Amino acid sequence: MNSTKIYIAGHNGMVGNAIFEILKKKRGNLIITQSRKDLDLVNQIEVKKFLEKEKPDQIYIAAAKVGGIFANSTFPAEFIYENIMIEANIIHNAFISGVKKILFLGSSCIYPKFSSQPIKENKLLTGKLEPTNEAYSIAKIAGVKLCESYNRQYGESHGIDYRSIMPTNLYGAGDHYDLTNSHVIPSLIKKFHEAKINKQSKVIIWGTGNPKREFLYVDDLARACVLIMNLNKKKFYENTNDRCSHINVGSGYELSIKNLAKKIKKITSYKGQIKFDLKKPDGMKRKKLDSKHIFNLGWKPNVDFEKGLKKTYNDFKKRIFNSI
């Protein structure tokens, strides 16, 4: 049986690791990984040499510089530069090295700030972006358009098939827990847990708490990634086209930041008060994806939000505090 050689860029991250865990269970997969220390994806020469040597059959681009609203607002130059370089280096040098299949992971923040809800794939580039994460959003849009452009120019002549998937807000085991640089769920888990340990009387959260967010457990996204990567080409293009080739992946489940905070307060057993800092930005008011295409392809989320939140908190305690 011929093996499929697969490179997962960003395998140590939450999403990359979830993809790795699925792929390693299938016989015939030869999975290649490189740590950040051994391969700097921002360095074009290093990426070129690596892909010329390895020549994988498939690449999952799960590597990215990511962060929450504070990090995006504070370090826009790093977010736009590093993310553009990572995706451009991989996609271009994959093409040069003869790699036929790529799956690029984008983000729901690529859509305009005032998109009608739920957000359809064709809303991309139809309005202004949310200013707090504009730099990251533009970098992710560039990745989607890189895949599309290479397909349009070289799809038939070179037999390449580069696809993009657009996940909603993710959470789960293996996340990065940081009060200033991580996304909302891991940030709040750390904040409430530390407030409990330190017996603080209140937890302060940015904004009004009114914005709504849709959440998806990372293992469910990983299943969607493997499905889309290996989907029959005809079936894939029944749900996309050459200028709108990305597919949304959302859970359909959303709640306000205020209600999210209440749930995390409960699972962490924190007894104090929740306060909102109204001087801080909210970000987009609502960001729910229209995921009918991925649903039509037979995928659906398996992990209930409450159970997923508990699993994430247990992962946090185990990895960060070495206790359950």
Instruction: Return the exposure string of 182-204: e unless at least 16 CB atoms fall within 10 Å of the residue's CB, then b.
Output: bbbbbbbbbbbbbbbeeeeeebe
Tokens encoding 265: 């307060």
Angle at 170 between CA 275 and CA 301, to 5 degrees: 120
Output DSSP code: residue 214.
Answer: E
CA distances from 28 to 3, 4, 31, 61, 273 (A): 4, 6, 10, 21, 53
d(CA 140, CA 320): 30
Q: Report how far residue 240's alpha carbon sits from residue 228's, in angstroms, rounded to the nearest whole number.
A: 12
Q: Which residues are catalytic?
A: 136
CA dihedral 55, 60, 65, 68 (to 10 degrees): 180
